[in-house]
Amino acid sequence: MRDQILSHSKMCIQEGGTMLQRGMNFRINPKYSILLMSQRKNAPYQDAIHDDGITIEYEGHDIIKSEAAFPKLEDQPYKTKKGTLTQNGKFANAVEDFKNKGIEPEVVRIYEKLFDGTWSDKGFFKLIDYKYVPSGKRKVFRFILEEIEVDFENNETHIKKLKPHSRIIPSDIKRVVWERDGGKCVECGASDNLHFDHDLPFSKGGSSITVNNVKILCARHNLQKSDKIQ
């Protein structure tokens, strides 16, 4: 479920026991890839949410330390020195296949780090584009992902149009709300199965997302609330 709050170990269990450590994980699951993002000030990469509220720009990753003494001074690589594709290369190739061969876009699940040990499941996205652009004196990859609803029934992946009220809650708002609400459901004080809840759906006239219209709810109160709105 979107905006579910979870520990690192729960996130790994949710992904079938895979130990998630690297930020970019192309096809770590047979049906989708996983990207870990962070918008914290000290984050090593510059990830951003576009103003439309459904598009994420994810920075590619640097050359590995065993191949360069100062990775931040080197162009982000498409291939390793051995000639195999890097994660950047694998994600970029998926975009090329989508654009040039008419293959379905790569489905990507994104988790974001809010604090050490506290993560949020941002849900599923389709990888629609990438750029290889100057950043200071070097070049970096910037991958463009658009939020989707997805359904994995019958061993097939169906990409569905996003519900009109969907909108990504920015990470800085999540961090403020998490601290304000003390990491608990505001209705019952539960500290398990929590989600970030956007108070007023966009379809019902909800305007921009602020800390005032986001709160933490447990799964039970989250469901009760969505029943009432429908």
Nearest to Zn ion of 27, 184 (CB atom): 184
Verify binding: residue 219, Zn ion, rule CB under 5 A.
Answer: no
Nearer to Zn ion, 169 or 194 (CB): 194
Query: For Zn ion, which is the closer residue by CB, 96 or 192?
Result: 192
In the bound complex, what is the minimum distance in angstroms from residue 99's beta carbon to Zn ion? 44
State which residue, 127 or 217, has the beta carbon closest to Zn ion: 217
Q: How far is the CB of 188 from Zn ion (least distance, A)?
A: 3
Closest CA to 62 of 39, 44, 40: 44
Judged by beta carbon, residue 73 or residue 188, the one nearer Zn ion is: 188
Shorter beta-carbon distance to Zn ion: residue 153 or 227: 227
- Rounded Cα distance between 160 and 146, Å, is 12
Q: Residue 18: which residues within 8 A CB-CB, separation 6 or more?
A: 12, 28, 29
Torsion angle defined by CA atoms of residues 21, 160, 210 and 117, in that order, rounded to the nearest 10 degrees: -20
Rank residues 151 and 192 by Cβ distance to Zn ion and give the closer one: 192
Neighbours of 161 (CB within 10 A): 8
Q: How many residues bind Zn ion (CB under 5 A)?
A: 6
User: Helix, strand or coil for residue 228?
Assistant: helix
Asked if residue 223 binds Zn ion (CB under 5 A), the reply is no
- Taking CB under 5 A as the binding criterion, the range among 6-14, 161-169, 200-208, 220-228 that sits at the site for Zn ion is 220-228
Task: Report the helix count and the strand count for the chain, using DSSP H and E.
Answer: 4, 11
Closest approach of Cβ 222 to Zn ion, in Å? Answer: 8
In DSSP notation, 75-126 reads: PPPSB-TTS-B-HHHHHHHHHHHHHHH-PPPPEEEEEEEEETTEEEEEEEEE
Binding status of residue 221 toward Zn ion by CB under 5 A: yes
Residues 157-216 interacting with Zn ion (rule: CB under 5 A)? 185, 187-188, 190
CB of 193 to Zn ion, least distance (A): 9
Report, in Å, the least distance between residue 215 CB and Zn ion: 11
**Window 110-149: contact mask with Zn ion (x via CB under 5 A):** ----------------------------------------
Q: Are 49 and 56 in contact (CB under 8 A)?
A: yes
Question: Could you give the CA distance from residue 45 to residue 4 in angstroms, rounded to a whole number?
Answer: 23
The residue assigned the tokens 């989508």 is 98
Q: CA 226, CA 108: separation in Å to the nearest integer?
A: 26
State the minimum distance, in angstroms, from the CB of residue 112 to Zn ion: 23
Instruction: Determine if 218 is a binding residue for Zn ion (CB under 5 A).
Output: yes
How far apart, in whole angstroms, are the C-alpha atoms of residue 149 and residue 129? 18
Residues that bind Zn ion (CB under 5 A): 185, 187-188, 190, 218, 221
